[in-house]
Structure 1
Amino acid sequence: MLPRAYLKYSESPWVPLLKMWALFTLLIIAIAYFELDFRIADTVYTMEGGDWALSDFWLTKYVLHDIGRRFSIFLGVVVLVSIVTSFFVAAMKSLRRPLIYLFVSAALSALIVSSIKNSVNVACPWDLVRYGGGVPYVGFFQEWPSKFPDIACFPAGHASAGYAWIALYFFFDYLFASSKWRRLGAGVAMFMGLLFGIDQQVRGAHFFSHDLWTLMISFSVSRVLAYLFFGLSEKNNSAGNFVNP
């Protein structure tokens, strides 16, 4: 009999993900059409007195941004140490593959977001003339003027410190096959992602849609890797071609 994890994850994720990306694209088009990013930013900017008053506030900058980022890195270190420990502690051997999956998925999600962010020029709200900055708005598909400084503000990098852990959903599902644990994993990631994302929005560092892009990228990475780690590997193992770590 094939393992439960293989039965759950052996189906290719590509078609479902393509459908999700199609719906996501429609959502992004709707956000752009109704100018939802600007409506939200306008409201926050006005509530802060026509200035990004919370950009350097101790809670938003030092606690939720600086310490929040370090907390996500700390989680990654804990997972990495657990992986190394699994090579020396027999009781943790069965956890090695899911732990490697969790680390790779979270790290890769954050890396992809960071790579895109540093490859395209998209202004943050606080950069725009509309919100007291010095750069006029340039549409996503418009050419970035060479006279403008390089600005890396898309997707939301800090939100990835939370959303990258959406892999916890698949991690717990593989280990326990319980909806309670799945919800816990997804809940932790969503809470962190929302907290970090909203923090950056009230600081003027990101638009709403930037966070949605980060969430979608992170979920896609974690789902594809769940297929590779828990579906394909179990299939190979059932055929005698995969040696359990």
Structure 2
Amino acid sequence: MNPIKQILWSILALFVLLLCVEKTNLDLLVQDVFYSSSTQQWILDTTHPVLHFLLYDGAKAAVIGWELLLLIALVFFRKKAIVKAYRQGITIVLIAIPLSVGVVSALKNSTNIACPYALTHYGGDI
């Protein structure tokens, strides 16, 4: 597929997804699957050390490790055929991961969208 078409389709899909989340209760329906109203607790309790590691610390470490592996491949193995073949894709991933993390972090700090645990529906204050 033409790269411009691919970008346009991706933007359109993102726009449709944002509309679905903002104009429907789809996000709350998904969150309700993971929340027990009777016990007022999340099914996946992140205070449990193993779950906290898997969902937060481990996931961050895996992304950082993947980023480092790609960077090492691009710098030290740039003459290998496989790295040459995928150099552009590796570069895109190396730029996209920190950029997307930064954009999401900036949006979380600047928008008025609460995390699920902060909503009164889930025992929060908002």
- Quick check: TM above 0.5? yes
Letter in 2 for 1:91: K
- Tell me the residue number matched to 1:97: 87
Query: CA offsets per residue over residues 180-207 of structure 1, 9 Å max, x none?
Result: xxxxxxxxxxxxxxxxxxxxxxxxxxxx
**Cα 1:121–1:79 shift into 2, 3 Å:** same
Instruction: Quickly say closer, same or farther: Cα 1:86–1:95, change in 2 above 3 A.
Output: farther
1:46-85 aligned at under 5 Å gives the runs 46=36, 49-52=39-42, 54-85=45-76
What amino acid is aligned across from residue 76 of structure 2 in structure 1? T
- Structure 1 position 65, deviation (Å): 1.8
Match for residue 114 of structure 1? 105
1:71-220 map, 5 Å? 71-86=62-77, 90-91=79-80, 94=84, 97-98=87-88, 99-135=90-126
Conservation of the 8 A alpha-carbon contact between 1:76 and 1:103: yes
Tell me the distance in 2 between the aligned counterparts of 1:79 and 1:34: 39
Shift of 1:24: 4.0
1:2-21 correspondence runs (5 A): 11=2, 13=4, 17-21=7-11
Q: Which runs of 5+ in 2 are unaligned?
A: none
In structure 2, give the amino acid aligned to 1:36.
L
Equivalent residue for 1:29, pick from 19, 24, 30: 19
- Secondary structure of the 1:84 match is helix
Runs of 5+ unmatched residues, structure 1: 1-7, 136-245
Which residues in structure 2 correspond to 1:227-238 (within 5 Å)? Answer: none
In 2, distance between residues paired with 1:72 and 1:85?
Answer: 20
TM-superposed CA distance for 1:42, in Å, is 2.8
RMSD: 3.0
Structure 1 residues 28-77: Cα deviation after superposition (integer angstroms, max 9, x where no partner): 33444441222222332226821235131233211232112101100111
Give the number of the structure with larger relative contact order, counting CA–CA contacts within 8 Å between residues 6 or more apart.
1
